[in-house]
Amino acid sequence: MPRKPTWGTPTRSEHHPPLRRKWQFLYPSAIAAAVVAVVLVGGYLVGARGTFSPGTVTGAHGSIDSSCEQCHTTGQGVSNVRCQRCHDPASGGRLAASAHVLFGSGDPRKAAAAPDLACATCHVEHKGRAASISAVPDIQCAKCHFGNLRRHPEFAVLRASTAEAPGMNFGHKKHIEDVMKEQGLTQAAQTCATCHTKSQPRRDFEPLSFDQHCASCHTKEGSVGTVDPVPLTDVVDLEGLKARGLTAAVAALKPEEFEVARGKIARPSLRHRDPWVIFNLAKLRAEGDPEAFAGERARVEARIASLERRLAAATPFAALDKGALQDRVSALQREREGAAARLAAQAAAGDASTGVARLQEIETGLRAADAAAADEVSKLRAVAAEKGAGPAPLPTADFEARRQEVLALLEAVEAADPALKPRTADLRRRIVALVPGENAADLLTRVRDQRQASLDRLKDEIKLRDQGIAPPRAAPLEAERRELQRALTDARTQLAALAAVATTAALTDEERQKKRETATIVAAACTKCHILKAGAFEPVRAARPVLARARFIHEPHLIQADCAKCHPGTEASKVSKDLNFTGIQSCRECHKPFQAKQDCRECHLFHPKAVP
Amino acid sequence: MIAAGAALVMVLVYAISVWLAPWSPKRGLGLVFGILASLIFVFEMAYPYRRSRARPFGTARRWLQLHVYLGALAFLAVLIHTGFHWPGGFMGWALLLLSAWTTLTGLVGVWLQKWLPVVMSEGLRVEALYERIPALVEHLVKEADALVANASEVLERFYLAEVRTRLAVVEPSWSYLLDVRAGRERALEPFRRMSSFVDPAEKEIVNDLMTIRMEKMDLDVHYSLQGVLRSWLVVHVPPAAVLMALLVVHILAWALY
């Protein structure tokens, strides 16, 4: 009889082995998980904090990768003050969103109203060593601006149809024609490289200079021209310059370059940047237009004061002990309280100064006679009484004129009573610090907020010091200190030059006019190219970028197109103000999808420079 | 369909959000998706309670469906949380890879649970509990020994040389994943050859031995495939538990910093 197979599942018997335990995998898994958690947390407690991190930080921050407290505050995330410790050591506030708005719009009130923006919103960390946290995506820009290059407005300089004069009388037409004739060229575009020579890679063109680009045509035996005889009573001769301690500056000048006869001095030959001309022009300006001169000196003094303050603030935290930090805190607290008190005093007098009280009187008076007119006045009063409305800001031109006026007044006050100098110096600094478009209340608010921001940073630093967290290394601070130091040296040199020609002599209007006429004669040879305005040469901005809020490098573009593609009509241009530039459309021709990049950061910087 | 719809909605929400504002895992919807993924992971870890505790989802089957579909959605939420970017460090990579691994092994497990039982029921004649297979094999050996106890010397020698060694131990093989009847013809060939050598009276014994050998092979297949069905959890549950541990550390780090 054949064997019968055992169909189906065998029935259970007493010998049946036990079934798999219900949570066979769960307990070992839970133990494994617990071990992993303990290892990670234990590692964190003994200093291996990288395991807690969602990713390594970018290469530049590599040295603080495992020192979370350098950037993070427990329970509060990343605060801006931690970024500023290294990136804005001088407390200039240039990294704040308000600085960006001011940089872009030039409107201090708009800047003051700009919402605070955390650095970490745009600069996202923990994306790996090779990640660039400065590569901010366009979508961040699009929060406030247009979304893409197609919607980019025409450049402001073209919209306004005016460019700032580059301080020179210059026409491309004549120069191009001369170069073509001299070099036997047939096309205007071939002449560009004669003056616009390439610089280091990514550095654009070499700056234009007289010696390199102009001297070959504009000098004859080393002379750029002559100066007709001018009275020796108005100018200083060579010996006079030496007597004033300018020996080094005039060392190159020779006596035969001067002709003195009948109480007058003339120059048969003149150098470029001739120290005699520069000194005497400044002297004549100080005498002929003392108000403008005083304004200029005040500006330089205020700049020096501001730079000195920032330089002191830019001292590396590592160089300050806790006592020094506390001293700074006390000083800043006093300044902040002073600004707040002045602001409160202004606010208390605000109704009177804004005319609200006066408008109230008018409204009350009108109400019985003309209700409609009273309603209109009521509306005006409501606008004026709005919080922070203050007096309407002056237009920029009026603002500068008024500032000049006040500075000259301060100069007169100081001359009359030298004992008032500390007070006038303080007032002068404040007046120069005002930005067109903001009033005193805006300025005080800005000062108060800036001091508060500095205080927050210092307090944070003291807290970190108490926790035993080291201050950032000095290197990131040094670059900014060097930049501030350089600007300060320039400003001091400028002030010394102004001080050398300063005068206290009070001249009549007639005498002043005479001085101005003499200045015109002294500068006659220079004004062939340079522009003389109010007794001083306009600053030369030849071949400087005209795009104020963008950076542009010619080099990579010249590979793609010749000069005439973006600068048509240059060969016919007769004045230096001509832009000869096609505008945003020429950018769009190449910067489009699947071709050249069109990211905002390709051309624009968000943060203004440390030292403007 | 509901899961696919939910996935589509999640991706659409992400796409619209990215179009409107920068994506950040730490803020806004990026954080919401991170929290969503974490909550789903916590729910997923409650799966072992499906039998012994209350069943708010009706049946264990329903719970399993939720476990599978929500698990897949959780991984999608993790990807959206990262903004579909590669992570930058150990913790980021560990979380992403463990999420991917747990989801993948879970889906492979679902596929195995659906496919292997069908394959076994269609391709095999014998059914057996995994834990009982060694005992059943032992029983088959005893049965075969009894069959050849009074057989001829030739048949006994054949049994000892070519059959018993293959019957004595369970022989699992990965090849059964590809074909449950793999190697069967080759295994029967000696029996067919032997049938032509033995007396007609012993042919029935040879046939019985052949049947026993077939049953043993069925048990080998069961042992192999049921083993896979049970052991895939080793690659699913412990990594899931480690993922939870890392998740706790990740949330702790987020809360602290």
- Pairing label, strands A72-73, A259-261: unpaired
Cα–Cα nearest to A535, from A516, A557, A560, A549: A516
Quote the mean pLDDT of chain B.
88
Asked if the C-beta of A18 comes within 8 angstroms of chain B's C-beta atoms, the answer is yes
Q: Mean pLDDT across the stretch A204-216?
A: 84
Interface of A with B in 488-527 (CB under 8 A): none
The percent of residues above 70 in pLDDT, for chain A, comes to 88
Contact yes or no for B134 and A17 at CB 8 A: yes
Q: Using one digit for the tens of pLDDT, what is the confidence trace for A60-116?
A: 888 888 788 888 887 788 888 888 888 877 677 888 888 888 888 878 888 888 888
Q: How far apart are the first and last CA of chain A?
A: 109
Which of A36, A131, A139 lies nearest to residue B22, judging by beta carbons? A139
Mean of pLDDT values over A326-340: 90
Could B256 and A74 be called an inter-chain contact, meaning their C-beta atoms sit closer than 8 Å? yes
Residues forming a β-bridge with B88? A55
The pLDDT assigned to B53 comes to 58
Which of A9, A53, A124 has the CB atom closest to B128's CB atom? A9
| Residue A333 confidence (pLDDT) above 90 | yes
pLDDT at B240 (0 to 100) = 92
Hey, is the C-beta of B87 within 8 angstroms of any chain A C-beta? yes
B147 touches chain A (CB under 8 A): yes
Q: Which of residues 26-45 of A touch B (CB under 8 A)?
A: 26, 28-30, 32-34, 36-37, 40-41
Residue B54, pLDDT score: 53
The top-scoring range by mean pLDDT among A305-309, A578-582, B77-81 is B77-81
For residues A172 and B2, what is the distance between their CA atoms, to the nearest angstrom? Answer: 71
CA distance B1 to chain A (A): 31
* Contact between chains at A2 and B207 (C-beta distance less than 8 A): yes
Q: Tell me which of A121 and A432 has the higher pLDDT.
A: A121
**What are the structural domain ranges in chain B?**
2-85, 130-231
Q: Region A597-611: what's the mean pLDDT?
A: 83
Nearest Cα of chain A lies from the Cα of B117 at a distance, in angstroms, of 14
- In angstroms, the CA B20 to CA A139 distance is 8
Percent of chain B with pLDDT over 70: 97
| Residue A10 confidence (pLDDT) above 50 | no
Mean pLDDT for chain A overall: 81
Share of chain A above pLDDT 90, in %: 8
Nearest CA in chain B to A38: B245
Q: Would the pLDDT of B208 be above 80?
A: yes
| pLDDT score at A392 | 60
Please tell me the distance in Å from A589's CA to the nearest CA on chain B.
Answer: 25
**Please, what is the Cα angle at A149 between A145 and A155, to 5 degrees?**
75
Mean pLDDT along residues B178-187:
88
B230–chain A Cβ distance below 8 A for any pair: yes
More confident residue, A500 or B69: B69
Q: Tell me what pLDDT residue B198 has.
A: 83
Q: Which two tokens mark A596?
A: 């050249």
Q: At what angle do helices B200-231 and B90-123 cross, to 10 degrees?
A: 150
Is residue B246 within 8 angstroms of chain A, CB to CB?
yes
Nearest CA in chain B to A124: B24
Query: Which spans in A289-370 are helix H?
Result: 290-313, 322-348, 350-354, 356-369
pLDDT of residue A20: 55
Give the CA distances from residue A309 to residues A130, A305, A312, A609, in Å, rounded to whole numbers and listed in that order.
37, 6, 5, 17
Interface test with B, best of A29, A73, A148 (most B CBs within 10 A): A29
Whether the predicted pLDDT of A521 surpasses 70: yes
Look at B242 and A33 and tell me if their CB atoms are within 8 Å: yes
B188/A86: higher pLDDT: B188
Chain A CB contacts of B245 under 8 Å are 33-34, 36-37, 40
How many angstroms separate the CA of residue A44 from the nearest CA in chain B?
10
Q: Averaged over B88-107, what is the pLDDT?
A: 90
Q: Is residue B71 pLDDT above 90, yes or no? A: yes
Contact state of B230 with A20 under an 8 Å Cβ cutoff: yes
Give how far A526 is from chain B: nearest CA, Å. Answer: 55
pLDDT at B242 over 90: yes
Kindly write down the DSSP assignment for every residue of A117-164, as one continuous string: --HHHHS---S-TT--TT---HHHHTTTS-SSGGGPPPPHHHHTT---
How far is it, in rounded angstroms, from Cα B22 to Cα B15?
11
Average pLDDT over residues A450-478: 81
Q: Which residues of B touch A53 (CB under 8 A)?
A: 89-91, 253
Higher-pLDDT residue of B77 and B20 is: B77
Query: pLDDT at residue B60 above 80?
Result: no
Minimal CA separation from A71 to chain B, in Å: 9
pLDDT in tens, A475-509: 566 777 888 899 999 999 989 888 888 776 778 88
- pLDDT at residue A1 above 60? no
Residue numbers of B between 3 and 22 with CB closer than 8 Å to A = 18, 21-22
In tens, the pLDDT along B130-180 reads 888 888 898 889 989 988 888 888 888 999 988 898 888 888 898 898 888
CB contact under 8 A, B257 and A29: no
Residues of chain B in contact with residue A140, where contact means CB-CB under 8 angstroms, are 22
pTM for this entry: 0.69
Specify the range with the lowest mean pLDDT, choosing from A532-546, B94-108, B158-172: A532-546
Highest mean pLDDT among A158-167, A387-396, B67-76: B67-76
Confidence band (pLDDT; 50, 70, 90) for A8?
Answer: very low
Q: What is the pLDDT of residues A144-167, one digit of tens each?
A: 888 788 888 888 888 876 666 678
Q: With beta carbons under 8 A apart, name residues in chain B contacting A9.
A: 127-129
**A264, β-bridge pairs:** A231, A261
Chain B contact for A72 (CB, 8 A cutoff): yes
- Pick the closest to residue A20 from B234, B215, B67 (CA basis): B234
pLDDT at A13: 43
B28 reaches A (C-beta below 8 A): no
Q: Which of B18, B88, B135 sits opposite A127 (nearest CB)?
A: B88
Calculated CA dihedral for residues B135, B138, B143, B146, nearest 10 degrees: -140
CB contact under 8 A, A40 and B249: yes
Contacts of A186-194 with CB under 8 Å at 24 or more apart are A188/A564, A188/A570, A188/A571, A189/A562, A189/A563, A189/A564, A192/A563, A192/A570
Asked if A5's CB is within 8 angstroms of B211's CB, the reply is: yes
Q: What is the pLDDT of residue A64?
A: 84
**Of A49-53, A218-222, B147-151, which range is least confident?**
A49-53
Contact B87/A37, CB-based, under 8 Å? no
- Cβ contacts below 8 Å, chain A against chain B, sum to 132
Verify whether the Cβ–Cβ distance B132 to A124 is below 8 Å. no
Among residues 87-126 of chain A, which lie with CB inside 8 Å of chain B? Answer: 121-122, 124, 126
Whether A350 shows a pLDDT value over 70: the answer reads: no
Q: Where are the alpha helices (H) located in A434-551, listed in sequence order?
A: 440-466, 475-501, 509-522
Query: CB contact, 8 Å: B238 with chain A?
Result: yes
Residue A245 has pLDDT above 90, yes or no: no
Residue B48: closest CA among chain A residues belongs to which residue? Answer: A23
Band of pLDDT at residue A15, cut at 50, 70 and 90: very low
pLDDT of residue A11: 44
Question: Across residues A527-551, what is the average pLDDT?
Answer: 81
A233-262 b/e (C-beta count within 10 Å ≥ 16 → b): ebbbebebbbeeebeebbeebeeebbeeee
- pLDDT of A220 higher than 90: no
Q: Is B215's Cβ below 8 Å from some Cβ in A?
A: yes
State the pLDDT at residue B55: 64
Residue A37 is nearest to which of B126, B245, B255, comparing CB atoms? B245
Among candidates B22, B131, B132 on the partner chain, residue whose Cβ is nearest the Cβ of A20: B131
How many helices and strands, by DSSP H and E, does chain A display? 25, 7
pLDDT band at residue A262 using 50, 70 and 90 as cut-offs: confident
Q: Averaged over A295-312, what is the pLDDT?
A: 83
Cα–Cα nearest to B19, from A592, A597, A152, A137? A137
For residues A178-190, average pLDDT:
88
* Confidence at residue A7, expressed as pLDDT on a 0 to 100 scale: 46
Judged by average pLDDT, the poorest of A120-134, A314-328, A379-393 is A379-393
Tell me, yes or no, if B203 comes closer than 8 A to chain A by beta carbon.
no
Is the pLDDT at B224 greater than 90? The verdict is: yes
Contact criterion met (CB < 8 Å) for A25 and B88? no
Q: How far is CA A611 from the centre of its chain?
A: 6
